[in-house]
Amino acid sequence: MKITTIGLGYIGLPTSLMFAKHGADVVGVDISKQTVNSLNSGNVPIEEPGLGAYLNEALLARKFKASLTPEAGDVFIIAVPTPNVADEFGCDLTYVKQAVNGILPLLEQGNIVIIESTISPRTTEDVIKPLIEKEGFQVGEDIFLVHCPERVLPGNILYELVYNNRIIGGVTEECTEKGKEVYRTFVKGELLGTAANVAELSKLMENTYRDVNIALANELVQIGAKLDIDALSVIEMANKHPRVNLHQPGPGVGGHCLAVDPYFIAAEAPEESQLIRKAREINRHMPDFVVQKVLAIMARNQGQTITVLGLAYKGNVDDIRESPAIQIVDKLKATTDYQIRTFDPFVASSSSASSLEEALDESDLALVLTDHNLFKEIPQEIISDMRNSILFDTKNCVKETSGFKKSYNLGNISIFK
């Protein structure tokens, strides 16, 4: 089986290498010449455990190559970004359409076209299917069109690609069966056959569910701050109930999925998605809440330097897409005269300090915005070098806080109403 993958980012590259590891001949296509050259030289451009080994194994076996142009094959996988439409909340299908149009001249009878990119409901049938049929093919008979959304967690992608259940959403039942044949190559989880439109909305609702529940926790933080009640303790106690599972709050919601996908639903059904849109509003404004509390802490302690620990949107990855940490840093720089230092061991290119020691030396405030393992235990000798050893841990990840003169989190921040 020969597979051509369009898009070699956080999903397209691991997916390509997983197919290559299991015997498929894979051509990975990307518009970035730097990415293509890097991959063909054996260097992965993203931080993901085990991915480098998979790449070098595939190159050695001649099962994978990166290219700027697509090639004919048996299966075409579209894994390109789908950002929000500029200044709007809908799904920008520009890259998806470009990718589909790019493979149309290569399509042959019997080919399978799989859309892994996250897309708005009904996109597969209403947008992509007409593009293919305009070329004279009959979808479901000549070409088999499927939406198979990814459902993996950065930092654990290679494991979850294999063991997570996989939604296989075909435009027809035959399309669904053809999609299952492809993913049986390596998936050990259940292959869940359904309609393409159900697959599209299911993927969006998986992330919307989490976004809405995080918004509830973040709203609780603001209620706790208003009423002088520890929100984190409230969550701990409430979750002792056998049927309650409140999510954890944070400085906002980042990543390509949770911060983006709910808008794809809201754009298609704005009047029917009141809760979804309100949850997005709460999470979108959480960085403003954090900045407000940071300014209050600094003013009370007459500080001068803020050290931001973590720029990625989640722990132990280098992904800064939609990261609330980046938003908070930008807001602090734009609205204050404080010295702002940044340190993220996974995002060195955006860090102003090269080490935790350098970042905290003579600093007044350690502002934890990402729960990297490195930040869970900050050595006392590093804390001692701070001018004002104050901690504001928005991820509640620092295990030992007794070394700090003052320690705040999203539970006890009510002192700064």
User: Residue 78 in contact with residue 113, Cβ under 8 Å?
Assistant: yes
Is 257 one of the catalytic residues? yes
Name the catalytic one among 203, 293, 314, 395.
203
Residue 315, helix vs strand vs coil: coil
The distance in angstroms from the start CA to the end CA of the chain is: 61
Is 148 one of the catalytic residues? no
Do β-strands 144-147 and 166-170 pair in parallel, antiparallel, or remain unpaired?
antiparallel
Q: Beta partners for 192?
A: 167
Name the catalytic one among 148, 257, 314, 395.
257
393 Rama class: left (phi>0) / alpha (psi -120 to 50) / beta = beta
Q: Which two tokens stand for residue 94?
A: 């520009």
> Helix, strand, coil: what percent of the chain each, to 5?
40, 15, 45
Burial class (CB in 10 A: 0-12, 13-18, 19+), 412: middle
Residue 36, helix vs strand vs coil: helix
Nearest residue to 114 via CA among 72, 147, 70, 162: 147
Geometric angle at alpha carbon 153, from 344 and 194, rounded to 5°: 155
Active-site amino acid positions: 203, 257
